[in-house]
Structure 1
Amino acid sequence: MQDEHRKAIQNNFGSLVEQTDLDVMVSALYEKGVFSEQMIEPFKDTNKDTRTRKRQLYMDIMRRGPEAFGHLLETLEENGYWNLVRELDPSSSLHLQPRISYSNQNTKSGENSYVSIRTEKKRTKSNVEVNKIQSNSDQTETAPPESNKDTMDPSGDIPYFHVVKSTKFFEDNEDKDIKLYKTRGRQRGILVIFSYIQFCNDIEKYRKGVDIDCKKLKYLFHEIGFSVIAYQDLTKPETEGTLKRLGEVLVGTECVFIVVSSHGYERAPRSSDTDIRCSDGNLISFLDIVDRFSNANFPALRGVPKVFISQLCRGRNEEWVMVPQWRRAGEGGEGEGRAAGRPPHAPGGVESDGARWAERRDLQLDRVYSDIIIAHSTVPGYVSHRDPEKGSWYIQALCEVFAARAHDCHVEKLLTLVDERMHREFAVQTSSVEKWGFNRRLYLHPGLYED
């Protein structure tokens, strides 16, 4: 294999390991002659965790001769991992535009993600893998040789923060009116991230810092016990197609989190809906995305808690108020007095970004929306702030709060604490939460599983 191809794999090693389906990749590479039948046996060894076997797969590919890289690109493209192809091959026809159009950016996203999950000819729902992440209790499995550990895996630059693990499950209390959603199994939940960072023909400003948000969210939810799927810079048709196909992997999970991060625009003054900019410049409605998960459109997720996190501007208003320092001190605890000085988003520091009931007695009426909670990083009409070096204010606060308190707080309380943290740290941005038939408590029980 040529040095430039080997280096491309090394630079994207973490993304390849995190985002690809082991069985699909092994099968396709075997059919293309990259590996012999004997050589793929180690990849089937279930005594080793899936991540370790995928690491070994991509290290072995780099030793498989001059044609292996081309076969790898073909396999990734055939299975829908188009953004990985773009990152590995600068000359790929899958690029939205020539790379040179982004050469004026100071920082380029290091976050790579695949574009879609689709039904393949030789792939059934039973072998769809969405980055199964083992809990701490499972990580006693065989580790790769020391010489191979993280020597070419850039995922090691993910900021570390301690996620407090649960020691016991919360139980339904018969004397309480509000029951609990069940979140105890190893199919605890799936986090789906849609992030839009760079845009065709530079019609929007490059969203520096969003890759940091994605890395933090992936790390946080991996530690909680979720599987993670991340999509970056999809066009509008790719976004819509991906949403349609998510049913392949979301059915059977106990909880779903969907994060949408892009430039956003209010549809009407103080509207609850927001238009989201896709990478091709087209707009898609945030509520249209939520609607895909309604009981009418996705009945298999009825009763499953669905948490939407909107990291979007919802207007252009950047106003704030100044309050006496003594008042903030009485409200804010640590960090008091922050609002008395220059607001932290000073120039250069932060960026903005059926049948009728009487006719069908055999069917039971049901509402269209339930079990949905939507957390917006800001309120209608206002911008959402982002630090180019540390990530979005809201995602910073969310990761800190969920890491520290998910073990003993339900999600509604966590989101309340997120707003409190963001107010204390940044002063001028207000988050908001909407509940659509979300009538139970949702505990994430990080790191704890029912046998």
Structure 2
Amino acid sequence: MQDEDRKAIQNNFISLVEQTDLDVMVSSLYEKGVFSERMIEPYKDVSKDAKYRKRQLYLDVTRRGPQAFGHLLDALSENGYWDIVRDLDPNSSLHARRQRNPVPSTSVGSNEKNYVSLCTEKLKTKNATDVNKNPAPQAPRAPAAPARLPDPTTIPHFHVVKSTTFFENNDSDIPLYRTRGRRRGFLVVFSYVEFNNLEPYRNGVDVDCKNLKYLFDEIGFKVISYQDLTKSQTLETLKGLKEVVVGAECVFIVVSSHGYERPRSSDNDIRCKDGGLIAIRDIIDYFNNKNFPALQGVPKVFIFQLCRGNNEESVWRPGAETDGASRGASRGAPPAPAPPLLAPPDAPAPRDRVYSDILIAHSTVPGNVAYRDNAAGSWYIQALCEVFAARAHDCHVEKLFTLVDKRLHAAFLVQTSSVDRWGFNCRLYLHPGLYESQ
């Protein structure tokens, strides 16, 4: 392997270990002849930690000859890890060319070029799919046997409209969260598809994951994805995220699985690969101000794509409602720091609340099912990706979720999403494709 290729792997080693699926990559590299059947045995040794095995895998790739780097890029691309391909290979057809012509500054009396526009071009698929042409409502639980799914190498086709200027804070009552740096944010996806024959196979989830990865990569986020973890692996991963997302300006957590009502509770459980259940509240608690103080003041957005009960009721209403989404968006200067609380010199440290800066979006309301198309993905994620791609450049996140529900109703009629705010008291603009140069 050439030194520059080996160095590229070393520079992106954390992304490779954190974001890729071990079994998928071992299988792909074996099929491409990078490793023999005997050589992949150590990567299947479940007595060793999965991250350790992944580290060993990518170290071994650097020793597998001049063709190994190309095969690694192909394997990553085929399995949807396009952001890593772009980081590894600046000459890849998937690599976004960064625009270096900054737009005029919005600061009064300033001519500084203090921000630049990011990715402007991507490889897109030739055939587009109209979300309005999805079939009639299906049962929320897919058949156990996997259906024939779209080509896994297909890159999502939708266009993410980029921001050309930052929103400024002109509202002293509701300031803005800061989202201007290169560490714009992290998207962490937990998806559960297979359940050791305990639950039906969830067709369409792979489409959701690819669309979300593409969307948030275009916005400027780092994307980490985990699939089919056991309960213990999920909890350990949530705990380990403290070392990964710290320093980010905002964090999105997406959880997609079978979901269940909890008796005599407004909470819900999610199903893990081994059948274990985890309460939604327990997932959120990993990110509260007590357990993760480094994220206090940082917006944390949770998206739960799962059923919250078995209710499939709907009402008959003649006619159809049009999608009349409002196009207005307020602009607003970075929030001034809050004045310190005054206290006597010997007074104990002031207490603060455990939950803040948390927004929780559910694909459906309590007690109801969440529908999923076997080929096009879940209804809610379809609507979310469409709305965020088209409107994240001029809408704050709470408004985006309002438009998502309007789109969900316009396209599918029978499903209602919901949003909860836990001390989420600032406006969050994602500023897709835009960051400050310093």
- What TM-score, normalized to structure 1? 0.65
1:16 matched residue in structure 2 = none
2:279 matched residue in structure 1 = 285
Q: Which residue among 223, 226, 247 is the counterpart of 1:231? A: 226
Q: Which residue among 40, 50, 53 is the counterpart of 1:70? A: 40
Richer in helix (by share): 1
2:139 matched residue in structure 1 = none
Q: Which residue among 80, 89, 97 is the counterpart of 2:51? A: 80
**Unaligned stretches of 5+ in structure 2?**
17-27, 58-77, 101-150, 326-342
1:378 matched residue in structure 2 = 364
CA contact (8 A) 1:212 1:390 kept: yes
Pairing 1:199–2:195 present: yes
Separation (CA, whole Å) in 2 of partners of 1:172 and 1:68: 60
Q: Which residue among 176, 193, 213 is the counterpart of 1:180? A: 176
Aligned positions of 1:394-405 closer than 5 A: 394-405=380-391
CA offsets 1:319-352 (integer angstroms, 9 cap, x no match): 0000132xx44x6569xxxxxxxxxxxxxxxxxx
**Unaligned stretches of 5+ in structure 1?**
1-34, 87-109, 114-128, 141-153, 335-356
1:165 matched residue in structure 2 = 162
Find the residue that maps to 1:44 and give its secondary structure.
helix
Separation (CA, whole Å) in 1 of partners of 2:201 and 2:390: 31
Separation (CA, whole Å) in 1 of partners of 2:214 and 2:410: 24
- Distance apart, 1:286 and its partner CA: 0.7
CA contact (8 A) 1:83 1:232 kept: no
Separation (CA, whole Å) in 1 of partners of 2:99 and 2:324: 39
Q: Which residue among 266, 270, 273 is the counterpart of 2:267? A: 273
Higher relative contact order (CA 8 A, sep 6+): 2
- Distance apart, 1:131 and its partner CA: 9.5
1:366 matched residue in structure 2 = 352
- Distance apart, 1:136 and its partner CA: 4.3
Separation (CA, whole Å) in 2 of partners of 1:74 and 1:384: 35
CA contact (8 A) 1:315 1:381 kept: yes
- Distance apart, 1:160 and its partner CA: 1.5
Aligned positions of 1:18-417 closer than 5 A: 39-44=2-7, 66=36, 69-70=39-40, 73=43, 80=51, 136=96, 138=98, 156-173=153-170, 175-200=171-196, 202-268=197-263, 271-325=265-319, 328-329=320-321, 332=323, 361-417=347-403
TM-aligned CA distance change 1:268 to 1:85, over 3 Å: farther
- Distance apart, 1:363 and its partner CA: 1.5
What RMSD in Å do the two structures reach over aligned CA positions?
Answer: 3.8
CA offsets 1:175-211 (integer angstroms, 9 cap, x no match): 44100000011100000001110101x1100000011
Separation (CA, whole Å) in 1 of partners of 2:202 and 2:183: 33
1:101 matched residue in structure 2 = none
Find the residue that maps to 1:191 and give its secondary structure.
strand
2:72 matched residue in structure 1 = none
CA offsets 1:189-247 (integer angstroms, 9 cap, x no match): 000001110101x1100000011100100000010000011111111111111111111
Find the residue that maps to 2:403 and give its secondary structure.
helix
Find the residue that maps to 2:355 and give its secondary structure.
coil
CA offsets 1:281-309 (integer angstroms, 9 cap, x no match): 11110111001110001101000100000
Find the residue that maps to 1:265 and give its secondary structure.
strand
Letter paired with 2:400: L
CA contact (8 A) 2:308 2:367 kept: yes
- What TM-score, normalized to structure 2? 0.67
TM-aligned CA distance change 1:376 to 1:360, over 3 Å: farther
Find the residue that maps to 1:240 and give its secondary structure.
helix
- Distance apart, 1:364 and its partner CA: 2.2
CA offsets 1:413-433 (integer angstroms, 9 cap, x no match): 000000000000000000000
Separation (CA, whole Å) in 2 of partners of 1:60 and 1:268: 47
Letter paired with 1:180: L
- Distance apart, 1:73 and its partner CA: 3.0
User: Identity of counterpart residues, as a percentage?
Assistant: 58
1:342 matched residue in structure 2 = none
Find the residue that maps to 1:138 and give its secondary structure.
coil
Pairing 1:429–2:410 present: no
Letter paired with 2:178: K
TM-aligned CA distance change 1:139 to 1:80, over 3 Å: farther
Find the residue that maps to 1:309 and give its secondary structure.
strand
CA contact (8 A) 1:317 1:383 kept: yes
CA contact (8 A) 1:130 1:229 kept: no
Letter paired with 2:272: C
Find the residue that maps to 2:385 and give its secondary structure.
helix
TM-aligned CA distance change 1:214 to 1:65, over 3 Å: closer
Separation (CA, whole Å) in 2 of partners of 1:74 and 1:40: 28
Separation (CA, whole Å) in 1 of partners of 2:193 and 2:54: 13
- Distance apart, 1:80 and its partner CA: 1.8
Find the residue that maps to 1:252 and give its secondary structure.
coil
Residue range with higher mean Cα deviation, 185-194 or 358-367: 358-367
